[in-house]
Structure 1
Amino acid sequence: MRDLQVFCAIMECGGVTQAAQRLRISQPAASKMLRQAEDRLGFQLFVREGKRLVPTAEAHALLPEWLGAAAALDGVSRLADALRKGRSGRLAIAAVPVLATALLPYVVQAFRTRQPGILVSLRACTALEAAHLVADHRADLAVILGQSADPRIERERLGTSTIGCVLHPGHPLVHRRRLSLLDLADQPVISLSPQQPVGALLRQAMALEPHMGQVVVEVSQSSIACALVRTGAGVAVLDGFGLLEARTQGLSVRPLQPVLPLEVCLLRPRHHAQSIPAALFTDLLRETAREALAEGHGRG
């Protein structure tokens, strides 16, 4: 790269001294680099006429290609510097919907403060789809509820979210500090689908309770369940992040007995080194998830 810069500077300035001054190096260093370049090439690039160096025909022939190589190398250097300092790049994140809305916005905001040049792509999807996106290297990271058995990915447990109930502030059961499955026996229950971890856990627990009622409304996202609770359509059973989302909407939240714990997990490709932005995002995610889960348990 330095040889290219010296050659181009001499072509423009007509002398080694002027070229060295432009490049802020010593005249002997510039002369040495020119000689080294000529030795490697096997022919002269300049001939001296008086006080000037005149380019040879070979130098003129090389100039267009040399300029292109110099521009390409400079572009690589600038891109590497931008990637190192977080001024360029892309980070793709996949997450189940409730985490995409209740947890990741805070992580993305903290990440953007530190890495403003990185484009963040956030995709909400099912846990199964998120695992496939990571395994196929179409997402750098994924955050899900529950576990994944895909051998192509590695899983890190971020914490445990406890399932609870969401009620309308005027609901008759709102005066109770905690609710049991029996309390829900005569209530219209709103649940996530059984294909989702929360819905599956709820149905397993209900199957063990002989006097338990039935789910009357199935939804795909916690935000939909909260909207239904606001209309008085029933009592929703959601994970801890869904409960946080419900609180922000002014709904009442109560713990559910028996306790139904649900793991919050980070997924990343197995045997694949993380990029600098992905490593920073992971650190921020761990911290934010720990704080959010502590808040959810403390206020449950």
Structure 2
Amino acid sequence: MNLTQLTVFREVMETGSISQTARKLNRTQPAISLALKNLEKSLGLTLFERKGRRLVPVPEAHYLLAETTGILDRLSTISNTMEGLIKGHSGSLNIATMPGPSAFLFPRFISQSVGENPEIRITLSTRSSPQIMELAGTQNIDFGFADFEYSVGREPQYSAELIRADCFCAVDRESPLASCTSLTISDLDGVPMGGLHATHPFQKKIRREFQDACADYNPTVTCQYFLPLIPFVSSGQCCSIVDPLTVATEHEMNLSNGKVAFVPFKEPLRYEYALLEPDHRPPSQLALKIKAGWKAEVLKMLEGVKANPRAKNFAEAEGKQS
């Protein structure tokens, strides 16, 4: 007994005809007759009696039909499920992203990508970048999106695709700095500044930039991530050097009601994002699809704010870093 024989049997039960079954299954009549004969032989039972040109099932055939229908319907369900998994139309995702994009940009992308598909289940966590790297390294997420930090010491257990883009200086539109076409670090000498916590790698980079320019860095507002700094900038309390996705978020959400201008730097300050994928957890087709879509979305948004984005893999970036 095999699936071809059961498929033929079910169609003959429904049509009562070898010829109609052959047409429906796009097979020859001899092939249908042979499949039915072999099924009867394997069962040791005649399933049909001939009444003229029609085949009349014996009582036992009705029991076999119920069992056959259950088997074939289950196989059809499995086939559809696997097709959905292969095409990325179903499955589950566990994703972690840093606080800034997780506030709006990333959930919007995920919701638009998934739509109303009930076959996709999403777990989206907001974590700090070091936590996301740890989750990727311990194989506990499908992928993550984070600020990138070069690991020191142990070999990372994840792969990384990096996106580098230009930072901007967020200033109150009433400030004289807002009228500048570009800024230098020296232009911010002694200016009240909003920034991230002192231990954040980007904040350390900013302080080095000020030191190299012999400029005074004057921190007046400190936040965990960039978006909460925007209200302080719009009120004129400080300026802030922000990553380009914050600029994209402000363009989309208009948190400042148009009161903040984003000015590029004459000598670009580059920000580095990372798409992190565990090394020892093979990605699903759904994860590959969403990850590639998010990368394309990020590059598109960064192009939209003229942040000059460039994508690299970790090996290329590490070689350049060293």
TM-score, normalising length: structure 2: 0.72
Structure 1: 5+ residue stretches without partners:
none
Distance 2:35 2:294 in 1: 49
Please list the CA deviations of residues 197-235 of structure 1 after superposition, one character each: whole Å capped at 9, or x if unmatched: 433422444566765244222212322111221122211
Once residues 228 and 291 of structure 1 are traced to their aligned partners in structure 2, the CA distance between those partners, rounded to angstroms, is 28
| Cross-structure match for 1:146 | 148
Q: What is residue 289 of structure 1 aligned with on the other side? A: 298
Q: Is the alpha carbon distance of 1:120 and 1:260 closer, same or farther for their aligned partners in structure 2, counting shifts above 3 Å?
A: farther
Contact kept? 1:95, 1:144, Cα under 8 Å: yes
What are the superposed Cα offsets for residues 49-76 of structure 1, whole Å, 9 maximum, x if unpaired?
A: 645343364x555444333211110111
Aligned-pair CA distance for 1:112: 5.6
The alpha carbon displacement at 1:178 in A equals: 3.8
Counterpart of 2:306 in 1: which secondary structure? helix
1:54 to 47, 50, 57: 57
Cα distance, 1:10 vs structure 2: 3.2
Structure-to-structure mapping, 1:255-266, within 5 angstroms: 255-256=264-265, 259-266=268-275
AA partner of residue 174 (structure 2): G
Per-residue Cα deviation, 1:185-207 (whole angstroms, up to 9, x for no partner): 43322112245443342244456
Structure 2 counterpart SS, 1:75: helix
Deviation at 1:155, TM superposition (A): 0.8
Instruction: Report how many aligned residue pairs link the two structures.
Output: 294
SS in 2 for 1:216: strand
- 5+ residue gaps, structure 2: 309-322
- Aligned-pair RMSD on alpha carbons? 3.7
Cα gap change, 1:12 to 1:285, in 2 (>3 Å): closer
Identity score, percent: 22
Residues 266 and 87 (structure 1), Cα distance of their counterparts in 2 relative to 1, 3 Å cut: closer
Other-structure match for 2:97: 95
What's the TM-score once normalised by structure 1's chain length?
A: 0.76
Task: Write out per-residue CA displacement over residues 133-153 of structure 1, whole angstroms, 9 at most, x where no aligned residue.
Answer: 445555433222223647321
1:72 corresponds to: 74
Deviations 1:110-148 (A, max 9, x none): 7469x9787474544322333344455554332222236
Give the conservation status (yes or no) of the 8 Å contact 2:168–2:263: yes
SS at match of 1:296: coil
Please give the secondary structure, in 2, of the residue aligned with 1:166. strand
Aligned partners of 1:188 and 1:216 also within 8 Å = yes
